[in-house]
Amino acid sequence: MFNKKCLALSLALILTLGVLFSFTGQAGAFFGWFSSSDDAEQGYVQVRGSDTMVNIGQALAEAFMEQSEHEISVTGGGSGTGVAALINNEVDIANVSRDMTDSEVEQAAANGVDVYRGVIAMDGLAVVVNENNPVQDLTFDEIGAIYRGEITNWAELGGPDMEISLYGRQSNSGTFVYFRENVLDGDYCDTKNQMNGNAQIVEGVRADRSAIGYVGIGYATEGGQERSGLGVVNVAVDSNSEYASPLVPENVATGAYPLARPLNNYFNGQPTGAVLEFIEFIVSEEGQNVAVEAGFYPVSPEFQSVNDELLN
Amino acid sequence: MKSSKISRKDEIAKIKEKMIELFFFANGVLAIVVLIGIFYLLLSEGLPTFREVSIKEFLTSTRWNPVSYSNPEYGIVGMIVSTLMVTFGSLILSVPLGIACAAYLAEVAKPKEREILKPIIEMLASIPSVVIGFLGIVMVGPMIARIFNLSNGLNAINGSILLGVMALPTIISISEDAISSVPEEYKQASLALGTNSWHTLIKVTLPAALSGITAAVMLGMGRAIGETMAVLMATGNAPAFPKSFFGSIRTLTATIAIELGEVPYNTTHYYSLFAVGAVLFVMTFMINLVSDIVLHKYGEGEN
C-alpha cells in the first residue's frame, strides 16, 4: 500500500515537473537529466545519424569492440537527426551521408560545438529499378525529370508502357538532400512515396514492377552482386558521357560514377580517447575491409586528405 | 479522560480522512493541469507559425512542402483528409467485424470457447505497431497490389486494414462487456414472445447495449486517428492530395513523426509541426466530445 502511494506520488511529482519545465520552455533541460554526453570519457561512444550508414556503422562498431573495451552504440534516424543531435551536443559522432551545410556548422558553433569531419567509406548512391524493368541506363537529366514529375511513364525512356512509381526518402535523410542537390535541382514531385529507410525502399522496389528508387550501394547489393529482385541502373552525367555502374569499385574510387559520395563522420572537437581510437580503427586497413564487407567502398584518395587532416 | 482520548483519536482520524481526500483531489486536479499544460505547449509553440503563414493558407491549401528547394508551403488539408480516410476506412472494416465477434463471444460461444478466444483477441492489442506496419509493407501491400492490379500496395487501403486490425481488440473487448451486461430479463422476455435468438440479438440485445458499443467504436476510432507508426510505414507518405483509396497518403501523425526529428528549433517549420499537433488534438477532442454526448443521450433514453 505504502509503495503504491509512493509510486503514485513520485509519478505525480515527475509529471508536474515535466509540465513546469515545458511551461518555461526548458524541456531540453528536463530530459537532459536522463542523458549526458560526457560518457565518452568512460569509453561509451554514441553514434547517431544516417540510415544509409547504420549497417556499416554497426559492422565497424562490432569489429572494433572485439578488440577494445570501449562500448559503441550506433543508431539511425537519418542524417538530419544526427546533425541535430551533434548541434545539441547529445552524441559523440554524427553519421552524415551528405556534407553539413554552412548554416548547420554555424548553429553548432553558436551552441559551442566545434565541428570536425572524417570520412569512413565511400558510397556509390545506387539508382534502382525492379529486376523486370528493361531500362538499364539513365542520365542525370532523365532521373531528375522522373523525380520532378516531368517524366511519368517508362515508355518515354524506352521501357514498357507503365506509370512510374517513385520511391525516395524523407526530408530528414541525407540521401534525400544529396539527391535533390546533385540530381534534381528542384523539388521532388509530391506523388513520391517517402519511405522510412533504405531497407523499405529496397522492399518497395522489389515488389513494384514500375518502381524507381535510390539507396546506398550497401543496400542494393548482396555479396558484391545485385540483390535479387533489383536492377542497379548505370548512370551518366549527360548523354555524351559514358554510363558507369556503381557495382564496379573503380568507378566509385575514381569518381567515374557520378553519384559517388563520401560517408562522413562529424565530431565535436578533435577526437580524443575512445572516439579517437574508433576513428583510427575505421581508417585502418582492417576497418576499411569491414566497410567493404558491408557493401561499401574504401575511402578514395581524394577524401583521405580529410582524414589525414583530422588525425594530425 | 476517556472521552477526550476518543475525541483526539477522532480528530486524528478526521485529519487523516481530510488528507486522503485532499490527495485524491490533487490527483484529479493534476490530470487537468497536465492536459492544460499540453494544450498550452501546443498553442505556444504552434501559434508562431502564423507570423509567416496565413491561417487561411494553413487550413485551406493542399500543398505541404516546408523543406522546398525554393518556396516552402504549409497546407494541411491533404493530411487532414488522409487522416480521416484511413480512420473511417479502418472503421468500415473493424466495426461490423468487431460487433459480430463481440456478439458471438457474448451470446453464442460456449463458456470454454470464450475463455480461450477472449484472451487471444486481447493479445492482438499487444502487438507493437511497428510490427504491424512491417506486415503492411511485406504482406498486406503486395496482396492489395495483386488483388486490385496496382503497381504497389502502399496506399490508404493498406493503412485502413492495419488500423482496422489495431482497433479490433478495443472494439471487441468493450462491446462484449456491453452486450454481456444486458439484463437477462430482456432476452427472456423477447424469447417468451416467440422470437428466435437471431431476432432477439438484433432487435433487443444489441440496441440495449448500444451505448457501450458506441463507446467501443469511439475508442477504436481514437486509437486509429492517433496511430503513427503503422500508417507511416504502410501508406507511402506522398504529400500529394489523396486522389483515391488506391493512392498513397500522408497522415498528420506521420508528418509530425517524420519531420520533428530533424527540424531546426524555432523555425516556421518547427512551429508548424506543433500547429499540426494542435489540429490533431482538436480532432481527437471533438471525437471524445461527440462520443460523450452520444453516450449521455442513450443513457437518458434508457431510463
- Specify if A147 maps to a domain: yes
pLDDT given for residue B212 in this prediction: 87
Nearest CA in chain B to A187: B69
Please say which residue of A236, A254, A272 terminates a domain: A254
Is the minimum CB–CB distance between B151 and chain A shorter than 8 Å?
Answer: yes
pLDDT given for residue B153 in this prediction: 86
- Tens digits of per-residue pLDDT, A104-124? 899 899 989 999 999 999 999
Q: Where are the domains of chain B?
A: 8-51, 64-301
Which of the four pLDDT bands, split at 50, 70 and 90, describes residue A226?
confident
- Asked which of A34-43, A111-120, B254-263 is least confident by mean pLDDT, the reply is A34-43
Is the minimum CB–CB distance between B3 and chain A shorter than 8 Å?
Answer: no
Give the list of residues 6+ apart from residue B276 with CB closer than 8 angstroms, or none: B46, B76, B79, B252, B255, B256
A152 and A172 co-located in one domain: yes
Q: Given a cut of 80, is residue A98 above it in pLDDT?
A: yes
A178 and A149 co-located in one domain: yes
Give the sign of the dihedral formed by CA A53, CA A54, CA A59, CA A64: positive
Mean pLDDT throughout A271-299? 92
Burial B32-62 (b: 16+ CB within 10 A, else e): ebbeebbeebbeebbebbbeebeeeebeebb
Under 8 Å between Cβ of B199 and B245? no
A164 and A281 co-located in one domain: no
Extract the runs of DSSP E, i.e. beta strands, from B47-182. Answer: 64-65, 73-74
Q: Check which CATH number belongs to the domain holding A178 and give it.
A: 3.40.190.10
A174 and A228 co-located in one domain: yes
| Subunit contact B236:A210, Cβ cutoff 8 A | no
A196 and A149 co-located in one domain: yes
Run of H or E residues at A123: strand A115-124
Give the list of residues 6+ apart from residue B254 with CB closer than 8 angstroms, or none: B228, B231, B232, B235, B237
- Tens digits of per-residue pLDDT, B35-56? 999 999 999 999 999 998 899 9
pLDDT given for residue A259 in this prediction: 92
Domain containing residue A111 = 33-122+262-311
A166 and A184 co-located in one domain: yes
A305 and A247 co-located in one domain: no
- Specify if A291 maps to a domain: yes
- Specify if A18 maps to a domain: no
A102 and A166 co-located in one domain: no
- Tens digits of per-residue pLDDT, A200-217? 899 889 988 899 999 999
- Specify if A164 maps to a domain: yes
- Tens digits of per-residue pLDDT, B106-147? 999 999 999 999 999 989 889 999 999 989 988 999 899 889
CA distance B188 to B182: 11
- Hey, what CATH topology would domain B64-301 get? MetI-like fold (1.10.3720)
pLDDT given for residue A5 in this prediction: 65
Tell me what percent of the residues of chain A surpass a pLDDT of 70.
87
Mean pLDDT throughout B237-246? 88
- Tens digits of per-residue pLDDT, B67-113? 877 788 899 999 999 999 999 999 999 999 999 999 999 999 999 99
Q: Given a cut of 60, is residue A40 above it in pLDDT?
A: no
The per-residue DSSP string of A298-309 comes to PPPHHHHHHHHH
- From chain B residues 233-262, the ones with a CB under 8 A of any chain A CB are 233, 236-240, 248, 250, 258-259, 261-262
**ipTM computed for the complex:** 0.70
pTM above threshold 0.80: no
A132 and A220 co-located in one domain: yes
A279 and A298 co-located in one domain: yes
A64 and A110 co-located in one domain: yes
Under 8 Å between Cβ of A43 and A273? yes
What total of structural domains would you count in chain A? Answer: 2
Work out how many CB contacts closer than 8 A connect A with B. 99
Preferred mutation among A7, A10, A19, A133 to probe B, highest tally of B CBs within 10 A: A19
A155 and A228 co-located in one domain: yes
Closest CA to B251 of B233, B231, B281: B231
